[in-house]
């Protein structure tokens, strides 16, 4: 059942580990407080040190790719918000963009701005949840509630405009489903004011905390080369110094018109990944601030046919979700349903690096590493 | 005046006047047993309610508010639920040790109540090695925890128990050294003597900086010794689900839970006795009006007030800090707390010899 | 000497960072009445205000004459990704004696619905909408299969 | 490198490569046997440096399977799509998990979903599907699951 030969063979790490006879194999998950869902890890331990982590997936596999083969190009988008439920807007966005690419629809400027606004608010909400959950993983329980105080405001904004709080299905091919709610701008301003005041508390409570720094600094190191080789993306890779922000590299919608920085840290440890996300929140705030008062007037949706038929061909589009690069690969045979869909989910690639990162670390470190990878299990299983 | 001392004395007089001494002593034993168990369960209920309220306030929540006014009966309802729950013993477990472990933990927590002075002259047993007795008995609970972890036949439990063993054994050193600091200053191990030595001022006020350092180290060490966050590695719910009591349910789990809170009470009471003067009221100077007002407050209120303040501090730690990792935990003890408290003990001895304290 | 200086500096920095966190939680503990963020759910039911776009469940809009706007065109049924909606049609006789397709039963499986709003978007006559109810728990699964058109209701005049 | 430059470079490496027109990126069709040395070259050559594999998947065309590798270079930012036709009854291709480590998980996923056998893969086991599933490949077009699949 266990791996025959090993790809990763770092002598500096294996020297810490004892011989086979003293190993303990322990199942973390599928029901475990720190796996954030139904991830099942089989861990080989030598005392407290982790020798090997082996993910077993599939507990929440719904075969969304197969499911999408029987849904039309309008219908399949809603399923994708159930993959990475914390960045559902971005997933929907990517699918809508891919369909638009195939149909060559130009979406109105208002819809573009709305989409970017929604993406950034979702990113903020997702990072807030991540922050609370990471703090909980390393043992501090209070930050979770502070994070939810802010996240709840974003959820309320979403609820008012999109109708739901988590799985929105707001982006449709050609634009967005409904126009912004009249209260939207007012509430986003209120949120920004509130969040700017409160973000210092995040630093006070967690970032500057000596225990937290000790728990994350130098833990779960992954080099730039390894991060690239493991196909990591998003904040997890940017913590190792990989330039991989799709918003900068392949700008979509209005990302080339707004000012923001791609946050890159080079330390490659848990604390670097933590800092990337913390700084990314500030960048997201600045993007929202730039756009919120400059939403162009006009249609929120381009005219599309009632039945969408993608021309024969292959289409790939990608966006930057809160977790990294999310890609949709559609093979169309010219019908109303996709012939084959592949979702390139960021979590799946990031998870594959977990084994490499945890070798020789302690169990407590493994929990912190999983926290900074920000795994969302439905995103990995699809 | 009605005080706990007077009540205890008159009960004793009445008993010895009515029965022959053997029977009177036996009745006293029974009364003390009932009182100790009553205090034990009361503390459990009160402290759990307090913990839930304190955590709720820090986390912008309301806390329990449904059962009874402001939810005061919530813990009662929870206890009732735990009593009627089935106490399961896993198939692969070592049945005897598994069922014995919670009682060992609980009994060791209860025995430490004996030398504590709850009010002026109100004490179960004024043993002449009181502080030493507490330090000795409180290290027994680790046996119960190791027993529970081993007997559960669960890897999480075993890891938790082993962590807890390493932790308690090492933190006892610095806890003991900081207790010694006060013993050196007061010149006695007897709890009544230690309290009496603080009549003209608590040790925290008259002992200069070394006593403050000893106090801080004491608080840190006892937090670790009672397995409380940020040192709750034995439980570490995000790593080991629930650590050593993963397999426990029903009343056996409740006993662990109760023992944890009673242990907190005991160590905080010890902290109050050693550093904050036990039941001694707060005095400034001699013979001032302020001191007279302070004297009107009953000694039991002083004692419980100080203890609960320290308990609040320990809860405050729990709901603020992340958890340490096991090697960092041991580093903290062996590289920081132990050297500091050893040097500190030297300083305290110097102060005591040269009579520099007030 | 620098070792001792660093050592003391470490300890001081650590204590300071811990004190900052404790100050924050201490502040919240003292100001808990003002800062609390939770809601007392069943108690605040009367004042609970859900936004009008909230997607609770699909309802067929009936006016005061028990008339709706559904023509039975099955656009919603086709738009639904999960097969939540089943439209059973019948043929009515118009006054001119022509046969006309009309709605017989609008079956809605709430247990399959994911509130994606696609049926509402697809409806050409705006006959259906999302309602703001959200307490859908029932004791039997069959109660989730609903007939949306009220008994005796008919299509509003002039809706094609 | 631009698309045309890439085309010239790859023709140098693989004279028999077929380029598929259309699509966002350059599509190269290769034979499965050529894949491993070609992949090594794509990864190692200093002017190509395709070091980032962002997508690995398979498409079931009913007559054959086709493996797809989306590669990009983090230094030059050029992208290439490598496609390889596999026999549907006995799909086999060399693994590239030692070149791009992310391929290890992606190949395991393709292995269980499409039944493609990756030769010399270090750990070709089921990743997502439960144990004892071998032989049936859910993502193939002819897969039927009478219990769980609901045809609308």
Helix (H) or strand (E) holding D111: helix D103-114
- List alpha helices for chain A, DSSP H: 11-14, 64-68, 76-80, 88-103, 109-137, 142-162, 184-202, 210-216, 224-229, 235-238, 246-249, 270-292, 346-352, 354-358, 363-373, 377-381
CB contact under 8 A, A139 and B321: yes
Beta bridge partners of C101: C91
Q: With bands split at pLDDT 50, 70 and 90, how would you rate the model's confidence at D151?
A: low
Average pLDDT, chain B: 83
**Neighbouring residues of A287: CB distance < 8 A, sequence distance ≥ 6:** A116, A120, A258, A260
The yes-or-no verdict on residue A158 having pLDDT over 50 is yes
CA separation for the pair D109, D119 (Å, rounded): 15
Would you call B209 exposed, middle or buried from its count of C-beta atoms within 10 A (0-12, 13-18, 19+)? exposed
Q: With bands split at pLDDT 50, 70 and 90, how would you rate the model's confidence at C133?
A: confident
Question: What does the pLDDT average to over B340-357?
Answer: 83
Q: How far apart are the first and last CA of chain A?
A: 24
The residues on C that touch A, with CB distances below 8 Å, are 13-14, 17-18, 20-21, 23-25, 37, 50-51, 53-55, 79-81, 114-118, 121-122, 130
Q: Is the dihedral of CA C9, C12, C18, C23 positive or negative?
A: negative
Q: With bands split at pLDDT 50, 70 and 90, how would you rate the model's confidence at A21?
A: low
Counting the structural domains of chain D, the total is 1
| Contact of A377 with A106, CB cutoff 8 Å | no
Query: ipTM, 2 decimals?
Result: 0.85
Q: With bands split at pLDDT 50, 70 and 90, how would you rate the model's confidence at B358?
A: low
The residues on A that touch C, with CB distances below 8 Å, are 71, 74-76, 78-79, 82, 142, 145, 148-149, 152, 159-164, 167, 169, 172, 177-178, 181, 201, 204-206, 208-211, 306
CB contact under 8 A, C115 and A163: yes
Report the chain B residue with the minimal C-alpha distance to residue C20.
Answer: B320
| Contact of B171 with B329, CB cutoff 8 Å | no
Chains in contact with B, where contact requires at least 3 CB pairs less than 8 Å apart = A, C
Task: Report the candidate in C114, C109, C104 with the shortest Cα–Cα distance to residue C142.
Answer: C109
Give which of A364, A366, A369 to mutate to test B binding, by max B Cβ within 10 Å: A364
DSSP state of A230: T
| Contact of A64 with A83, CB cutoff 8 Å | yes
The yes-or-no verdict on residue A3 having pLDDT over 50 is no
3-state helix/strand/coil string of chain B: CCCHHHHHHHHHHHHHHHCCHHHHHHHHHHHHHHHHHHHHHHHHHHHHHHHHHHHHHHCCCCCCCCCCHHHCCHHHHHHHHHHHCCCCCCCCCCHHHHHHHHHHHHHHHHHCCCCCEEECCEECCCCCCHHHHHHHHHCCHHHHHHHHHHHCCCHHHHHHHHHHHHHHHHHHHHHHHHHHHHHHHHCCCCHHHHHHCCCCCCHHHHCHHHHHHHHHHHHHHHHHHCCCCCCCCCCCHHHHCCHHHCCCCHHHHHHHHHHHHHHHHHHHHHHHHHHCCCCCCCCCCCCCHHHHHHHHCCHHHHHHHHHHHHHHHHHHHHCCCCCCCHHHHHHHHHHHHHHHHHHHHHHHHHHHHHCCCC
Domain contains B245: yes
Report the chain C residue with the minimal C-alpha distance to residue D152.
Answer: C83
Q: Does A313 touch chain D (CB under 8 A)?
A: yes
Q: What is the pLDDT of residue A12?
A: 46
pLDDT, one tens digit per residue, over C46-99 is 888 888 888 888 888 888 888 888 888 888 888 888 888 888 888 877 777 777
| Contact of B41 with B257, CB cutoff 8 Å | no
| Contact of B104 with B144, CB cutoff 8 Å | yes
Domain contains B80: no
CA separation for the pair D126, A83 (Å, rounded): 21
Among A74, A152, A206, beta carbon nearest to C118:
A74
Domain contains B37: no
- 3-state DSSP call for residue C5? helix
Q: With bands split at pLDDT 50, 70 and 90, how would you rate the model's confidence at C14?
A: confident
CATH code reported for the domain at C57-155: 3.30.70.3270
Length of chain A: 382
Counting the structural domains of chain B, the total is 1
pLDDT, one tens digit per residue, over B79-106 is 888 888 887 888 878 888 888 888 888 8
Q: What is the pLDDT of residue B286?
A: 67
Give which of B56, B165, B238, B240 to mutate to test A binding, by max A Cβ within 10 Å: B238
Q: What is the pLDDT of residue A5?
A: 33
The yes-or-no verdict on residue A176 having pLDDT over 60 is yes
Task: Report the candidate in D116, D69, D125 with the shortest Cα–Cα distance to residue D88.
Answer: D116
- Judged by average pLDDT, the poorest of A125-134, A283-292, B7-16, B77-86 is B7-16
Helix (H) or strand (E) holding D60: strand D52-60
CA separation for the pair B188, D118 (Å, rounded): 77
The yes-or-no verdict on residue A10 having pLDDT over 60 is no
- The parent domain of residue D120 ranges over 3-151
Average pLDDT, chain A: 84
Question: What does the pLDDT average to over D51-72?
Answer: 87
Q: What is the pLDDT of residue A17?
A: 45
The C-alpha of B60 sits at a distance from chain C's nearest C-alpha, in angstroms, of 4
- The parent domain of residue B142 ranges over 90-354
Share of chain B above pLDDT 90, in %: 0
| Contact of A235 with A277, CB cutoff 8 Å | yes
The yes-or-no verdict on residue C30 having pLDDT over 70 is yes
Chain CA centroid to CA A296, Å: 28
CA separation for the pair D10, C155 (Å, rounded): 66
The more confident residue out of B242 and A143 is A143
Question: What does the pLDDT average to over B238-246?
Answer: 80
CB contact under 8 A, D101 and A249: no
CA separation for the pair D65, D142 (Å, rounded): 13
Domain contains B129: yes
Domains, chain A, in order of start with CATH, read: 4-56 (no CATH), 64-381 (1.10.645.10)
- The answer to pTM > 0.95 is no
- Look up the CATH number of the domain holding residue D15: 3.30.460.80
């Amino acid at each position: 059942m266990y791996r025959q030969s090993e790809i990763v063979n770092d002598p500096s790490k294996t020297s810490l580990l004892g011989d086979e006879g003293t190993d303990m194999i322990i199942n973390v998950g599928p029901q475990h407080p720190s796996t954030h869902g139904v991830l099942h890890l089989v861990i080989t331990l030598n005392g407290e040190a982790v020798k090997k982590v082996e993910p077993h997936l599939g507990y929440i596999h719904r075969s969304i790719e197969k499911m999408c083969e029987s849904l039309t190009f309008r219908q399949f988008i809603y399923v994708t918000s159930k993959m990475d439920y914390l960045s559902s807007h971005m997933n929907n966005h990517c699918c809508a963009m891919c369909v638009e690419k195939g149909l060559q629809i130009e979406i109105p400027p208002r819809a573009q701005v709305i989409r970017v606004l929604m993406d950034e608010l979702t990113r903020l909400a997702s990072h807030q949840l991540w922050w609370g959950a990471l703090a909980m993983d390393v043992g501090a329980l209070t930050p979770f509630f502070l994070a939810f105080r802010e996240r709840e405001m974003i959820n309320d904004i979403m609820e008012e405009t999109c109708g739901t709080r988590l799985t929105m299905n707001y982006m449709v091919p050609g634009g967005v489903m409904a126009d912004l709610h009249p209260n939207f701008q007012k509430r986003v301003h209120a949120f920004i004011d509130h969040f700017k005041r409160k973000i210092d508390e995040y630093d006070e409570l967690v970032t500057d905390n000596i225990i937290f720094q000790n728990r994350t600094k130098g833990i779960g190191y992954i080099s730039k080369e390894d991060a690239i080789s493991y196909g990591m993306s998003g904040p997890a890779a940017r913590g190792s110094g990989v330039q991989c922000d799709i918003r900068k590299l392949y700008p979509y919608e209005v990302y080339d018109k707004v000012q923001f920085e791609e946050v890159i840290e080079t330390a490659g440890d848990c604390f670097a990944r933590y800092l990337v996300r913390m700084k990314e929140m500030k960048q997201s705030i600045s993007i929202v601030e730039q756009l919120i008062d400059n939403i162009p007037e006009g249609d929120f949706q381009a005219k599309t046919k009632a039945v969408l038929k993608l021309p024969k061909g292959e289409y790939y589009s990608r966006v930057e979700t809160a977790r990294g690069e999310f890609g949709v690969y559609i093979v169309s045979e010219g019908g109303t349903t996709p012939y084959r869909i592949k979702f390139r989910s960021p979590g799946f690639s990031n998870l594959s690096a977990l084994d490499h990162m945890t070798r020789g670390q302690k169990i407590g470190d493994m929990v912190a590493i999983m926290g900074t990878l920000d795994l969302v299990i439905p995103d990995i299983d699809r | 005046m009605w005080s706990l001392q007077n009540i205890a004395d008159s009960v004793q007089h009445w008993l010895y006047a009515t029965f022959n001494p053997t029977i009177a002593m036996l009745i006293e034993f029974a009364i003390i047993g009932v009182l100790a168990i009553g205090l034990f369960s009361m503390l459990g209920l009160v402290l759990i309610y307090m913990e839930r309220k304190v955590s709720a306030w820090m986390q912008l929540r309301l806390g329990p508010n449904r059962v009874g006014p402001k939810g005061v009966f919530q813990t009662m309802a929870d206890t009732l639920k735990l009593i009627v729950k089935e106490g399961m013993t896993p198939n692969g477990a070592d049945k005897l040790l598994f069922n014995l472990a919670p009682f060992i933990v609980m009994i060791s927590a209860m025995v430490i109540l004996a030398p504590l002075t709850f009010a002026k002259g109100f004490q179960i047993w004024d043993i002449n090695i009181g502080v030493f007795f507490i330090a000795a008995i409180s290290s027994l609970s680790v046996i119960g925890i190791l027993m529970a972890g081993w007997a559960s036949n669960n890897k999480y439990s075993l890891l938790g128990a082993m962590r807890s063993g390493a932790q308690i054994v090492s933190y006892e050193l610095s806890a003991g050294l900081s207790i010694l600091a006060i013993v050196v200053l007061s010149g006695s191990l007897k709890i009544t003597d230690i309290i009496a030595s603080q009549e003209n001022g608590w040790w925290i006020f008259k002992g200069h900086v070394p006593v403050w350092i000893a106090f801080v180290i004491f608080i840190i060490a006892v937090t670790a010794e009672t397995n409380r966050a940020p040192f709750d590695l034995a439980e570490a719910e995000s790593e080991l689900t629930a650590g050593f009591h993963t397999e426990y349910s029903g009343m056996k789990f409740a006993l662990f839970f109760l023992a944890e809170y009673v242990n907190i009470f005991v160590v905080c009471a010890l902290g109050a006795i050693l550093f904050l003067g036990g039941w001694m009221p707060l005095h400034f100077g001699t013979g001032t009006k302020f001191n007279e007002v302070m004297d009107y407050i009953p000694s039991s209120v002083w004692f419980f007030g100080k203890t609960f303040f320290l308990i609040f501090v320990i809860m405050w730690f729990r709901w603020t800090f992340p958890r340490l990792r096991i090697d960092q935990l041991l580093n903290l003890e062996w590289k920081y707390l132990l050297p500091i408290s050893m040097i500190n003990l030297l300083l305290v001895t110097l102060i005591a010899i040269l009579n520099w304290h007030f | 000497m620098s070792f001792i200086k660093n050592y003391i500096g470490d300890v001081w920095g650590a204590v300071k960072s811990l004190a900052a966190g404790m100050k924050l939680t201490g502040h919240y503990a003292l100001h808990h009445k003002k800062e609390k963020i939770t809601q007392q759910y069943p108690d605040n039911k009367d004042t609970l205000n859900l936004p009008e776009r909230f997607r609770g469940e699909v309802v067929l809009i009936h006016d005061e004459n028990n008339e709706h706007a559904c023509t039975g065109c099955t656009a919603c049924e086709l738009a639904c990704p999960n097969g939540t909606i089943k439209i059973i049609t019948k043929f009515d006789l118009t006054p001119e004696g022509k046969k006309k397709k009309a709605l017989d039963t609008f079956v809605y499986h709430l247990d399959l619905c994911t509130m994606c709003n696609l049926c509402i978007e697809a409806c050409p006559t705006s006959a259906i909408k999302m309602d703001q109810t959200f307490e859908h728990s029932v004791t039997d699964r069959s109660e989730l299969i609903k007939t949306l058109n009220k008994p005796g209701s008919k299509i509003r005049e002039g809706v094609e | 490198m631009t698309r045309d430059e890439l085309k010239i470079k790859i023709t140098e490496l693989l004279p028999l490569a077929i380029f598929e027109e259309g699509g966002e990126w350059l599509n190269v069709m290769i034979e499965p046997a050529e894949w491993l040395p070609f992949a090594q070259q794509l990864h190692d050559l200093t002017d190509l440096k395709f070091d980032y594999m962002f997508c690995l998947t398979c498409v079931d065309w009913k007559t054959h399977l086709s493996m797809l590798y989306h590669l990009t270079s983090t230094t030059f930012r050029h992208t290439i799509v490598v496609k390889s036709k596999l026999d549907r009854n006995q799909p086999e291709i060399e693994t590239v998990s030692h070149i791009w480590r992310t391929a290890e998980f992606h190949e395991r996923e393709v292995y269980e979903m499409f039944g493609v056998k990756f030769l010399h893969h270090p750990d070709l086991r089921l990743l997502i599907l439960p144990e004892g599933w071998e032989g049936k490949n859910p993502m193939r077009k002819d897969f039927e699951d009478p219990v769980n699949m609901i045809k609308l």
